[in-house]
Amino acid sequence: MMRINNKLSDQELAELIREGDYAAFTEMYNRNWENLLRFVSKIVHDEDDAQDIAVYYTHLRAHETGSSI
């Protein structure tokens, strides 16, 4: 598994994700999951549902960008 430099910008990570780089996807997810979960939790008011939605949304967005992840 390739290690990703955590100093890469989100835009640089997004480009790597479009190329199918799973390590870049993992780094981007790790950077943003807490904010996404907090946002979704405010809407659905259920931690388990919020986690499910956050994971689903993340994979949906990866698919929309053309990533093979």
pLDDT digits (tens, 9 = 90+) for 3-13: 676 789 989 98
Tokens of 57: 């949304």
pLDDT of residue 22: 86
Q: What is the pLDDT at residue 29?
A: 86
H runs (alpha helix) in 1-69: 10-18, 22-44, 47-64
Does any domain span residue 4? no
pLDDT tens digits along 11-67: 998 888 888 888 888 898 888 889 999 999 999 999 999 999 988 888 787 777 665
Q: Is residue 34 part of a domain?
A: yes
Task: Please report whether residue 39 resides in a domain.
Answer: yes
CA dist., res. 52 & res. 49, Å (int): 5
Residue 15 lies in a domain: yes
Decide if 45 is inside a domain.
yes
Q: How many domains does the chain have?
A: 1
pLDDT band at 69 (very low <50, low <70, confident <90, very high): low
* Domain assignment of residue 38, given as a range: 10-64
- Asked if the structure places residue 2 within a domain, the reply is no
50 in a domain, yes or no? yes
Q: What pLDDT shows up at residue 25?
A: 86
